[in-house]
Amino acid sequence: MALRIHPSAEVSREAEIGDGTSVWHWAQIREGARIGQDCNIGKDVYIDADVLVGDHCKIQNFATLYKGLRVGDRVFIGPHACFTNDPYPRAVSPDWQIVPTTVEDGASIGANATILCGLTIGRSAMVAAGAVVTKSVPPQALVAGVPAKVIGWVCECGRPLDQDMRCSHDGKSFPDLRTNKLKRRSTRPNRT
């Protein structure tokens, strides 16, 4: 399938965009950005210089992806999601350095989520709409809230896992997550 770029989109000649990708109205893709194959870049999306986006990603309207971000394959980024790259933002900061962030394969970022810099969103993890992510998210974790906390676990298909770490939709089981869940519980202080 051929690359499609809407006439109103602003795509740098120095950006690389893979075959089959669609770039919609008023999106901006800056120099050095690399977008994989078969992606969908929605209306008014901003992709900063040198951002890397894998194959088969869907980036919804008004999402902002700033320099230092690496996005894996098959990642969903919801509308108005925002990725930061500066832990101490100031209008003028002569010693400013980019703090990179990684979103691993298959992860989903909900609408209006804010992802602080220097974090990793794990493989197939899910960030709920409106969450403010201040810590790295383990693979297949479901995080929600302000600040975001692990509230459950999800299958690779995105549906929640039951207490036995099984998906009722496709029947897949993730026994390794049960071990991860127990480790997370054991780090809490005892309450008496």
Q: Is 107 helix (H, G, I), strand (E, B) or coil?
A: coil
CA distance 43 to 17: 16
The per-residue pLDDT for range 19-48, each reduced to its tens digit, is 999 999 999 999 999 999 999 999 999 999
Q: In the chain, which stretches have pLDDT less than 50?
A: 186-188, 190, 192
pTM above 0.85, yes or no: yes
CA distance 58 to 34: 14
Do residues 98 and 85 make contact, with C-beta atoms less than 8 angstroms apart? yes
CA distance 45 to 64: 6
Do residues 140 and 177 make contact, with C-beta atoms less than 8 angstroms apart? yes
